[in-house]
A and B are shown apart, each in its own frame.
Chain A
Amino acid sequence: MGKTSTVRQDLLPGTLDMLILKSLTRGVMHGYGIADHIRKLSEEVLHVEEGTLYPALQRLQIQGWIDSEWGHSVNNRRARYYRLTRAGRKQLGEAETNFGRLIQAIARVMKPAT
């Protein structure tokens, strides 16, 4: 297990948005669920702080990439659930492509000399 990274502002803000959008492809989730999902899937490497998560969720809503509605959680508590919109799906596709390109570029630079 690598060193845990707390996802704060120093990670590219677009990356966090992308992670959130990707998480929501799995289905409808509430805020805690999204953070949990990212933490588990990244094998504890990425911890999303609430201070970053919730403002990001507001931002994504303003952009129109996610939608929210209030529902009831497992324990019958009131919780707000988020889902991906069609625009969000499209945005995710673009973000993935760009991110992939970026990663490849970095990898090419970091390739050991032959």
Chain B
Amino acid sequence: MTPWMRRLLALTRRRRLDRELGEELAAHVETRARQLAADKGLPIDEARRRARILLGNVTRLREESRDQWGFPRLESVVQDLRYGARQLRRTPIFTAAATFTLALTIGSTAALFAIVNAVVLRPLPYRDSERIMSITIESEGRNVGRMDAPTAALAIQAGTRSFDSVAAYESTGGNLTGGEQPERVSGALVSAAFLDVMGVTPALGRSFEADEITPGGPAVIVLSHALWLRTFGAPADLGERMVRIDDVSYRVIGVLPAGFRFPGRAEYWRPWVPRRLGPGAVYYTDFVGRLRPGVSPAAARDELYALRAAHEADLPARARRSSIVIVSLHESLRGALRNPLVLLFGTVGCVLLIACANIANLLLARAAERQREMAVRTALGADRGRLVRQLLMESALLAVTGAVPGLLLAEGSLRVFKAIGPANVSRLPGIEIDGAVLLFTLVVTFGAAALFGIAPAFAAGRVDPQGALKEAARMSPGRSHPKRLLVVLELAAAVVLTIGAALLAKSFLRYSAVDRGYDSTRVLLVSVPLPRPRYADPAARVDFSQRTLERLRALPAVASATHSGGLPSSIAMTVSVPARLTTSGKADEGETFAVTYVGPDFFKTFGIPLAAGAECPDTGDAPLAVVSGSLARLFFSDRSAVGETIEVAGEGPHTIVGVAANVRAMGSNALGWPLVYVCDGHRSPPVSGYVVIRVREGVDPTSMIPALRDAIHAVDPSLPLVNPRPLSAAVGEAITTRWFDAALIAAFAAVAIVLAVVGLYALVAYLVAQRTREIGVRMALGATRTDVVRLVLRQGSMVTALGVGLGMAAALPLVRYVRAMLFEVEPLDTGMFAAAAVVLAGTAIIATAVPAWRAMHVDPIIALRSE
């Protein structure tokens, strides 16, 4: 049996042990007495008396003995907790308010940490993922976000020293047939080393081999585990299985492990073969590499530049001139999300700190009231350490009482967020309350307890028993400087948060109000992939397009209809084939434009006004194009672009028939690239594009979905319609994200203001209560009510002015962190700063006015008499 176990046993037998000790001591005394009587010849009673005196402090003896029975330290902690709980129950309003505030703030902090952890902190789920780099280029100051294909192909072929392996990939998609239902699946075209870069080995089979990565090579495919399961039921071996995608059969040569779906939600991977375009043409691809250990990204970049320089002759001029950017894949996928999330997290942290400051102030006020209690305990022998420890336990108990409902609140908010939050964040995996979040919450809870508990605990421990007991009922006022300082800090923090919220709100309003160049209100679109082999022939695609559009235009509710390779301006990035101008304008190989393919009535359907000329004609073989205003201005500044010729690399010269207004990018409202809209009346509709209709006034676009489906299926019943939706929905998504950010920060800023102002009110009320006697004296000596009000207001204004001033000063360096999230709003916006100051000052004045008004009505006689 270990001593620990003996202690436990003794714990259960305490009463008996106590009794036995008593008997033992009695026996001891008796023996001593007899000894004394014998030695000194005393009568037995006298001897017994002396023996008892010699025994000393029996109580202390018994206490020290009792300490051995059980776990005294643990028991004193439990005792402190029970005492603390009792104290908290005695002031239910304070406890309820503090618990509520803590639950709200700790809960929000935990929820946000869960999101930040899943999105920003956690590394990607690939082997050594921090070494997977995304290699892209910047051209003419714009971040292209991808690598140009010639350089990528070159790097793949030539090999690099800095990277273990490099690979190009392009997202794609197709119609999977052969199962019960045709299904649209996402996939990717990847170069040979793709799986090496991602650190994945096939669970079955193998990856692509060199001879399969050539144009016209064998049709092979690698499947995801989920697709393999769905299609074949996950047999143990590969066999000779085929899948049909877009009416082409592919032999399955490998299956990847469950869970791997990169890029995006890819379910199949096919070989990436670099396309050969005309001279000067460049298209872009995603490009990644696995950095060799010990090599820095800067060194890798230099090597790529050197490689480019060494093969200058093989690369088009455009590819030579861009700057190479290497960042980790994690950064490129998640980097954009980091700023807003960190900002939100900082905001919530601030609110938590404000709440702690308030609770600290309240506890400090209570500490003054509890001085008698502390004095009595000190007089009875409690040492200071014990008192401080007990008060800290109370704070810890309060914090934990707030944290538990807070965690429940966090769990609930995360569920709501995953349901209605912006898709680019809420769909990411791992947003939940896991071990890391719990640990974090624990740290935050005890951190908060320490923050608001330390000052009051030490203040109470510092009590002089004599002084406190003598003062009878009178509260000896604590020093108010720490309280004032806390309120000043609270107000400053609230000001900073309000400025941030105001800036974001203004940014959101600007963003939604900006003229995007197209009208998204009455537009319905659906993605219609045209699979092979049926639609391999351009004539078949033209036929489909004409018949479908004819049917649609015949509908009374439809104002106009068109087909298009992409949406306004969002297309510019997918395939960027630069245009070049012939002799009629400035020819410069360096300029980059975007090209997109549009059908007849494109501009009318999307509501893009034409500044000059006309739309693409319905029929005809002539190569025609419409250009954007920015392109026209760039090259034909002094004259009309209509009638001029523009050469699209790889496609020959086109005659310009119209100039369209500039259109902003859908996701970011950024100004688009100069754009050439090639009329594809003579070409054919792309294999995968949109059918778009514009409905008449008063018709709800969504209600036309069945009609749209019917029209398309009347022409070809086998076509799947992917994701029919109104254009406003697609546009709305980007707005929702911004709205979400702005609304959340505004909500937290509002909470911060409320907390800070309540703190101010409590402070001023406290100060007034303290000085009641003094006010009575002043009034008795002739001060008017106005004088009293002025006195109180001055105290409040001092604190307010300091707080607001400090807040503005602190905001100046901090606002630049918001800059990335603002749309056409400068961070140092005087108007917003002033607005925040006014809001805070206004609410603060009201908070001060109430105690001031009360002070005004103090009856001097009562004040003088009160103690």
Contact = CB atoms under 8 A, between A and B. Distances in A.
B-side interface mostly: helix
A32 interface: yes
A61 B6 contact: yes
A62 B3 CA distance: 5
Contacts of A80: 20, 23-24, 27
Given A51-B56, A55-B61, A63 B67 contact: no
B68 A32 contact: no
Contacts of A31: 24, 28
Contacts of A32: 27-28, 31-32
A37 interface: no
Interface string B28-60: 101110100000000000000000001111001
A37 to B, nearest CB: 13
Given A51-B61, A54-B21, A58-B65, A64 B27 contact: no
B4 to A, nearest CB: 9
B10 interface: yes
B83 interface: no
Given A32-B32, A80-B27, A50 B61 contact: yes
A55 B68 contact: yes
Interface stretch (A16-24, A71-79, A96-104, A106-114): A71-79
Nearest to A70: B20
Nearest to A50: B55
Residue from A51, A61, A79, A80 whose CB has the most chain B CB atoms within 10 Å:
A51
Interface residues of A, number: 21
Nearest to B67: A55
Contacts of A58: 21, 65, 68-69
B6 A62 contact: yes
Nearest to A58: B68
Contacts of B23: 78, 80
B64 interface: yes
Given A50-B56, A54-B21, A80-B24, A64 B1 contact: yes
B1 to A, nearest CB: 7
A64 B3 contact: yes
A79 B10 CA distance: 20
Contacts, number: 67
Contacts of A51: 55-57, 60-61, 64
A38 to B, nearest CB: 15
Contacts of B69: 58, 62
Interface string A35-61: 000000000000001110011001101
B244 interface: no
B7 interface: yes
A89 interface: no
A54 B27 contact: no
A49 to B, nearest CB: 6
Contacts of B57: 51
Interface in B796-834: none
Residue from A31, A58, A70 whose CB has the most chain B CB atoms within 10 Å:
A58
B68 A73 contact: no
B25 interface: yes
A99 to B, nearest CB: 22
Contact of B31 (A54, A55, A63, A73): A73
B6 A50 contact: no
B418 to A, nearest CB: 55
Interface string B63-101: 011011100000000000000000000000000000000
A59 B65 CA distance: 8
Contacts of B3: 62-64
B686 to A, nearest CB: 86
A61 B54 CA distance: 25
B71 to A, nearest CB: 11
A73 B61 contact: no
A79 B65 contact: no
Contacts of B20: 70, 80
Interface in B656-694: none
B27 A79 contact: yes
Contact of A79 (B21, B24, B67): B24
Contacts of B54: 50
Nearest to A80: B24
Contacts of B10: 62
A27 B61 CA distance: 25
Contacts of B68: 55, 58-59, 61-62
A62 B70 CA distance: 10
A51 B21 CA distance: 12
Contacts of A75: 34
B1 A50 contact: no
Nearest to B69: A58
Nearest to B32: A32
A79 to B, nearest CB: 5
A75 B35 CA distance: 12
Interface string B296-311: 0000000000000000
Contacts of A62: 3, 6-7, 10, 68-69
A21 B61 CA distance: 20
A12 B34 CA distance: 32
A55 B25 CA distance: 12
Contacts of B32: 32
A100 B30 CA distance: 37
Nearest to A31: B28
Contacts of B25: 50, 54
Residue from A30, A61, A62 whose CB has the most chain B CB atoms within 10 Å:
A62
Contact of B30 (A59, A63, A64, A77): A77
A77 B27 contact: yes
A85 B183 CA distance: 82
A87 to B, nearest CB: 10
Contacts of A70: 20
Contact of A73 (B7, B27, B56, B67): B27
B27 A78 contact: yes
Given A59-B68, A77-B30, A54 B24 contact: yes
Contacts of B1: 64
A24 to B, nearest CB: 16
A56 to B, nearest CB: 9
Nearest to B6: A62
Contacts of B27: 30, 32, 73, 77-80
Nearest to A59: B68
A63 B5 CA distance: 10
Interface string B1-16: 1110011001000000
Contacts of A50: 25, 28, 54-56, 61
Given A32-B31, A64-B3, A78-B23, 6 more contacts: A51-B55, A51-B60, A51-B64, A54-B24, A55-B65, A62-B7
19 contacts: A30-B24, A31-B28, A32-B31, A32-B32, A49-B56, A50-B55, A51-B55, A51-B61, A54-B61, A59-B68, A61-B68, A62-B3, A62-B6, A62-B69, A63-B3, A64-B3, A77-B30, A78-B27, A80-B20
3 nearest interchain CB pairs?
Answer: A55-B64, A58-B68, A51-B56
